[in-house]
Amino acid sequence: MEKNISQNPLYSFTIPIIFIIFISQSCFYQAIALEIGIGIGGSPPPAFPPDNSDCPDCNQPPELPCPEPAPPPPPPPECPPPPPSPRPPRPPPPTSKKPPSPPPPLPPSPPPPSPKKPPRPHPRPSRPPSPSIPVGLTAELLQNIKDIQRFRKLITRDPFHITDTWTGDKLCQDKTKYKGFICDTTTDTNQLRIAGIKFNTYKFEGNYSLDDILGNFPSIIFFHANSNNFMKGVSTQFNKLPTLYEFDMSNNKLTGGFPKPILSGNLTFLDLRFNQFSGPIPPQAFTLDLDVLFLNNNMFSGEIPKNLGSSPVVFLTLANNMLKGPIPKSISQLNNTLLEVLFLNNQLSGCLPSEIGLLKKTEIFDASLNQLTGPIPSSFGCLKSMEQLNFASNHLYGAVPEELCSIKSLHNLTLKSNYFTQVGPQCRVLIDNRILDLSMNCIIDLENQRKPSDCTAFFLKHPRDCPAQLHIPCKIEKSATQLTQDEPARKKHSKHSRAYSALHWHHH
């Protein structure tokens, strides 16, 4: 059978026709696909070839002749091999589909320089000064310059030409400018400001008051203007000067009562000596947190306030005034702070309080040139740190306590011009070593004493009303009988005394 088919001429003719139709359809569909792929469609597609699915035997070599098929479309020209399809335009990447692979990356460009780190937020950088303010000059300093110029106009005499330096805008920047105004930097903003005023010994004169200068500098720490000619007092409340801790107006011409505006401040150093203040010292003066209180060489009167011991004062001078009455017993409360105290040259009276003996840290005590009376209490032997003790020119009497003469630190004990009548062996050792001065008393066997008639007249006029105070509130290390004249002389100290220095006009 197979042999017969291969020899059949109809079969030989059909094979090339079917092959041509297959090739034509293949080229036709490729052309359609090419037309659709490049987006040039729009004309109706050509008619499809007839479907031969109804004739299953058409694909097999027929034994009988099939019905004559519809004439095939004219054969297309010989189809050259299709050119490669052009790459379609890249559609926008759909959001839901994976984007196409990116082209090969370009070589990386050098990284940009790293930006400078921004300044730290704290502390905030200060704003640049406005064009009206010179560079480096804060608004506060600019206002200070204006205030200084106003004060300068009030000065009528400037013997040292200090105010000639108060020119220009170099306040706090040029040390040769604005002499007397001390600058420092603030702790919070690190900016320059006026921290203090120091007019010592400038001898300014003029129609001005302290308010003209103090009221314009509320942030200063100290104000030193000793040895000038200030005449008008201060009315500015010191609570408006919260950082003012040192106030020195000594050696001026201030008058009137104690300047009470001072009492509202936070002073730790107050020096009003060598002025013309008068009237009583207010008790509030001893409630301030003062280390130094110099009120000497004025005309203060009345009694020393009873709350004297309320102050933590270290150096206290009330000398050369007109104070009356006794030394307050509250002085014993200063036993942990008081180093030097001067009551000399007043009109103090009354018996010596035994509480003085509790001043274990006091090194200098001077109450000479007063009218204090009575015997020296035995408690004075507890003054372990005492170096200079002076009760000269008073109305003291009785025996000089041996306990007092046993103080090892003592190198100057002055009891001259009193009415002492007895002295023991230890005190005589101090006399021989020129530590104790008992001249002009009523001790019969000592040289350079008062006349007996003067002593008798005194005791007739001044009854001995003060009791003997023999209580000793401490342990005496060495009794009088254990010391002999062979003990080496105690060295006299040349220690500088702030309290005694305050008795002189000082210059810084």
Question: What's the residue count for the chain?
Answer: 508
| AA identity, residue 131 | P
Give me the pLDDT at residue 235, please: 77
C-alpha to C-alpha distance for 406 and 196, rounded to whole angstroms:
47
C-alpha to C-alpha distance for 291 and 312, rounded to whole angstroms:
6
For 223, the 3-state DSSP assignment is: strand
Phi/psi for 343 (5° steps) reads -110, 5
Instruction: Give strand pairing partners of 342.
Output: 317, 366
Q: What is the DSSP string of 178-219?
A: STTEEEEE-TTT--EEEEEEE-TT---EES-BTHHHHTT-TT
| AA identity, residue 219 | S
In sequence order, what are the residues at sequence separation of 6 or more whose Cβ sits closer than 8 angstroms to the Cβ of residue 503? 296, 297, 317, 319, 320, 342
Phi/psi for 301 (5° steps) reads -130, 180
Q: What is the DSSP string of 326-381?
A: PPPGGGGGGTTT--EEE--SSEEEEEPPGGGGG-TT--EEE--SSEEEEPPPGGGG
Q: Cα dist. 25→72, 76, 79, 298, 445 in Å?
A: 11, 9, 11, 136, 164
Give me the pLDDT at residue 96, please: 42
pTM higher than the cut 0.95? no
User: Is the CA virtual torsion 56, 59, 62, 65 positive or negative?
Assistant: positive
Q: What number of CA atoms fall less than 13 Å from residue 315's CA on the CB side?
A: 16
In sequence order, what are the residues at sequence separation of 6 or more whose Cβ sits closer than 8 angstroms to the Cβ of residue 80? none
In sequence order, what are the residues at sequence separation of 6 or more whose Cβ sits closer than 8 angstroms to the Cβ of residue 32? 45, 46
Question: Which residue from 260, 259, 245, 250 is spatially nearest to 290, judged by alpha carbons?
Answer: 245
Give me the pLDDT at residue 470, please: 85
Question: Mean pLDDT of residues grouped by 10 in the chain (508 residues)?
Answer: 44 44 43 36 43 46 49 52 51 46 53 49 47 67 95 95 95 93 85 94 91 89 94 81 95 94 94 97 96 98 97 97 98 97 98 96 98 97 97 98 96 98 97 98 97 96 87 72 47 71 75
Instruction: Give strand pairing partners of 197.
Output: 181, 223
Give me the pLDDT at residue 418, please: 98
Question: Which residue from 27, 20, 19 is spatially nearest to 46, judged by alpha carbons?
Answer: 27
- State the virtual CA torsion across 321, 275, 499, 427 in degrees, nearest 10: -20
How far the first Cα of the chain sits from its last, in Å, is 147
| AA identity, residue 315 | F
